[in-house]
């Protein structure tokens, strides 16, 4: 009887130690900063702007202003990049340990008149590969200019909502919402946002990014 009690006592201690370690590990995972990569083109990179005024930096500042300090955002924007370019560099642009990715590609695709099927296939592959790594995704939409023709415009604009629905990812319909065509919010080229324009983008997309952070944290548990 004494031996049985001793064995039970030792088993209880072992279970407590094991579960204590599991809980400690879970707590540590929850406390670890959420690592986000902003994967995009010049609109993400911050073309024509100081590094501290680029989208990722201003987004990080906005989150901290709301008390969200345990978030790190890496700028993986490459000026001139297409969706296919983003796919080609995906593995080194999104390193191991990344929790979430903001995908904002496509503006150069329509500017170059790239076949919407090519853009679709590239973005589809990006999302598929990120999800296979258990990385949460926020897909940012882009809208083609009217000068591309009605057929192209319709096909291109449909890419983003369709992919968001297919993969069940968070979706922000138009990255440049509230900024495009606004002279006061753009640089002299009329294409790239100035510092004020970036802040408009950040303020508009912030709720979706907060959802992204919540999803990334939930995936750890």
User: 167 an active-site residue?
Assistant: no
Same domain for 64 and 157, yes or no, is yes
The answer to whether the CB of 34 falls within 8 A of the CB of 211 is no
| Token pair in block for residue 1 | 């009887």
Same domain for 150 and 123: yes
Residues 169 and 133 in one domain: yes
Contact 198, 8 (CB under 8 A): no
For 106-156, the pLDDT digits (tens) are: 999 999 999 999 999 999 999 999 999 999 999 999 999 889 999 999 999
8 Å CB contact between 112 and 78: no
Global pTM? 0.87
Which of 60, 99, 107, 192 is catalytic? The answer is 192
* Active-site option among 41, 42, 93, 99: 42
The pLDDT confidence band at residue 220, using thresholds 50, 70 and 90, is confident
Domain with 6, as residue range(s), is: 1-31
Asked if residue 40 and residue 22 are part of one domain, the reply reads: no
Q: Where are the beta strands (DSSP E) in 1-133?
A: 34-40, 71-77, 100-104
Q: Is 42 a catalytic residue?
A: yes
Instruction: Name which of 30-34, 52-56, 64-68 the model is least confident about.
Output: 30-34
pLDDT of 30: 60
Does residue 170 share a domain with residue 125? yes
Give yes or no: residues 81 and 129 share one domain: yes
Task: Give residues with Cβ within 8 angstroms of 10, minimum separation 6.
Answer: none
């Amino acid at each position: 009887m004494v031996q049985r009690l001793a064995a039970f006592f030792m088993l209880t201690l072992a279970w407590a130690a094991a579960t204590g370690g599991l809980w400690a590990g879970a707590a540590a995972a929850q406390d670890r900063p959420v690592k986000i990569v902003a994967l995009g083109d010049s609109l993400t990179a911050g073309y024509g702007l100081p590094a501290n005024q680029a989208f990722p930096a201003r987004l990080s500042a906005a989150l901290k202003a709301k008390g969200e300090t345990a978030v790190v955002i890496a700028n993986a924007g490459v000026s001139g990049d297409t969706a296919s370019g983003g796919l080609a560099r995906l593995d080194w642009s999104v390193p191991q340990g990344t929790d979430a990715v903001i995908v904002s590609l496509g503006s150069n695709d329509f500017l170059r008149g790239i076949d919407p099927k090519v853009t679709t296939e590239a973005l589809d592959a990006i999302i598929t590969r990120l999800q296979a790594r258990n990385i949460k995704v926020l897909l940012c939409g882009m809208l083609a200019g009217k000068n591309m023709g009605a057929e192209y415009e319709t096909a291109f604009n449909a890419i983003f909502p369709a992919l968001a629905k297919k993969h069940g990812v968070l979706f922000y319909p138009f990255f440049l919402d509230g900024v495009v065509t606004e002279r006061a919010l753009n640089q002299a080229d009329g294409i790239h946002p100035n510092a004020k324009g970036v802040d408009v983008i950040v303020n508009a997309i912030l709720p979706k990014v907060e959802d992204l952070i919540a999803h990334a944290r939930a995936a750890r548990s």
